[in-house]
Amino acid sequence: MAEKLSMRLQCPVPKMDFDVIQLGHGSGGLMTHRLLKSGVFEVLQNEFLREEHDGSIVDLTGKTAITTDSFVVSPVFFPGGNIGDLAINGTVNDLAMCGAKPQYLTLACILEEGFALEDYWEILLTIREAGKAAGVQIVTGDTKVVEKGKGDGIFINTTGIGLVHPQADISVSKIRAGDVVVVSGLVASHGMAILSVREGLEFETTLKSDTAPVHDMVWALLDQFGPEIRFLRDPTRGGLASTLNEAASQRKIGIQLEQNSIPMLDEVEGACELLGMDPLYVANEGIFIAIVAPGIADQTVAKLRQFPLGKHASIIGRVVNDNPGQVVLNSSIGGKRVVAMLAGEQLPRIC
């Protein structure tokens, strides 16, 4: 794992008379107070949190987007990040998918009794850095502790609000036949990185999660193309396949994908081959899918490629009238197959 933030930022874990989270930290009493004071407030300090109130008052004018997401990941620390990155970037990206620039986030943590304080500290620092990188402020939050065995170390919920781009008109109902499907970056890196460190399933790889905020890229697209960006979605759980299937079935159109055009690291492809996983169903974090008007498809890719996160942006398919409600893949050897919704979680195959 990369060097810890607490080492790099010279933010040692605060000296406290405990090294793991205890039930009392959720009691609301002195222990809670100390944990918050020297933990959350100290690390995330800003004008809103300084009030130490149960809520915050913010100023917003214009069309506002709101989203909430809960984060449960095992293991909590993985190559390329930890649950803190996901909690910020996930919500920031959900706002971005509404065409909004993220402004404020709430942060609720459910900690399991016995969770290492050092790990909690590391996650808070990660949250601070990810928040800074995304340009959002954490304005209010909550911390609860559950008994040992009733959680998985730490669960996080974040709710975000952001202002919608004045030219944005993003909706599944805007998709029409002829539109082009663009993906902003490499597919399946996050899911395979997590899998590579999951207990009992470890395999050696240098793969890293791609967790990152994508709202700057989205904002730039909306600046340039406005309502010609018809639909945005980040293909997190369930991957590319599930996200596109949702769009196809909601809008009752067909989506045709070109297998050869889907950008993917060789390592990811190799790991998927080895484990019998289909990369189209593997989770992503730092990429998004844009369905755009046919006339701007190439420019969309060109624009995205100006960003470091977008340098692998590619056109991967088209919206068609055939096979309404379905995603059909033109395989790399010229065959066709239906990319169906998964019944449940994708499970590695025996042979």
Q: Which residues are at the interface with another protein (CB under 8 A)? A: 200-201, 203, 266, 269-270, 273, 275-276, 278, 323, 326, 328-338, 340, 343-344, 347-351
Tell me the closest approach of the beta carbon of residue 263 to another protein, in angstroms: 14
Tell me the closest approach of the beta carbon of residue 351 to another protein, in angstroms: 5
Tell me the closest approach of the beta carbon of residue 203 to another protein, in angstroms: 8
Letter for the amino acid at 59? D
Residue 311's Cα: distance from chain center in Å? 18
- Which residues 6+ apart lie within 8 Å of 116 measured at CB? 19, 20, 21
Strands (E), 113-192: 137-146, 154-164, 180-183
* Closer residue to another protein, CB minimum distance, 182 or 316: 316
Phi, psi (deg, nearest 5) at residue 88? -80, -55
* Closer residue to another protein, CB minimum distance, 106 or 245: 245
| DSSP helix, strand, coil percent of the chain (3-state; round to 5) | 35, 25, 40
Phi, psi (deg, nearest 5) at residue 192? -75, -30
Contact of 320 with 225, CB cutoff 8 Å: no
Closest CA to 180 of 237, 215, 210, 225: 225
* Closer residue to another protein, CB minimum distance, 265 or 291: 265
Tell me the closest approach of the beta carbon of residue 200 to another protein, in angstroms: 5
* Closer residue to another protein, CB minimum distance, 45 or 260: 260
* Closer residue to another protein, CB minimum distance, 57 or 343: 343
Between CA 51 and CA 47 the distance in angstroms is: 7
Tell me the closest approach of the beta carbon of residue 267 to another protein, in angstroms: 10
Tell me the closest approach of the beta carbon of residue 286 to another protein, in angstroms: 23
* Closer residue to another protein, CB minimum distance, 308 or 334: 334
Q: Which whole-number Å values give the CA distances from 321 to 28, 39, 202, 307, 318, in the listed order? A: 58, 55, 43, 33, 10
